[in-house]
Amino acid sequence: MNLSGKRAIVTGSNSGIGLGVAEELAKAGADIVLNSFTNRDEDHALAAEFAEKYGIKATYIQADLSQATEARALVSKAGGCDILVNNAGIQHVAPIDEFPADIWDRIIAINMNSAFHTSAVALPFMREKGWGRIVNIASAHGLTASSFKSAYVTAKHGVVGMTKTIGLETAGQGITCNAVCPGYVLTPLVEAQIPDQMKVHNMDRETVIRDVMLERQPSRQFVTTTQIGGTVVWLCSDYAAQVTGTTISVDGGWTAL
């Protein structure tokens, strides 16, 4: 699939799922705008590495997506985009009656509100060109729920609803909006949790992955960032031109239960 000449903004993309998505888009020829809340030398070096490795244009733009003005400025500073991947997200686990209000507000702001702000600024650019792709990285938790993850579940359900609305508002304009709903993905953050889980449950690595971490994922296999990235690339292709306002589950059968 050839996305040469397309500019893609991927939020939260200096590691994990966002980085994997950005890499697959770059392999397909898209110019990449990387983003996170940090502004380190290594962030800008990562963009330079992308440009050299994939023969594309790549930049890094710092933005704290918990702030509406910075989320909107990200798209403006990039000069608009053809492809917007709203991926940035954080997590916190606690019962409702113990959930810190400030953390609730931050999760809703980053995981849900930022997708509204970036999309609102990106859409006029897309309409001007008569082509655009918005892909929201939601979650299996955008379609179902788990205890103690109220803010995350609420935000991801909201992202799915927003996806449907944008899909309707842009229908027939050459623009699509869809949500990818991953199950558990093997990111560096998840990888770092495995040794602790092995100690807590007194299990070997493979057993703790299969029977504890992936208990709700019928395939008992982690989704990879490459698989998420490949799904995003497909949604950006002409093959998916009539796929809009919907969710694509990449969850090893989780939501089939």
CB 118 within 8 A of CB 74: yes
**If phi over 0 gives left and psi between -120 and 50 gives alpha, with beta otherwise, what is residue 137?**
beta
Helix residue ranges per DSSP H, 202-254: 205-208, 225-236
> Sign (positive/negative) of CA torsion 40, 33, 127, 154?
negative
* Half-sphere exposure of residue 34: CA atoms within 13 angstroms, side-chain side: 31
Helical packing angle, 41-54 and 16-27, nearest 10°: 30
Direct distance between the N- and C-terminal alpha carbons of the chain, in angstroms, rounded to an integer: 33
- What is the rounded CA–CA span in Å between residue 54 and residue 41? 20
SS3 180: strand
Is residue 60 flagged as an active site residue? no
Catalytic residue among 60, 152, 184, 239: 152
Which string of DSSP letters, residue by residue, matches 74-109? HHHHTT--SEEEE---------GGG--HHHHHHHHI
- Give me the amino acid identity at 58: A
Q: Nearest CA to 160 among 181, 176, 146?
A: 181
Tokens, residue 68: 């509406």
Q: List the beta bridge partners of residue 78.
A: none
Q: Which residues are catalytic?
A: 152
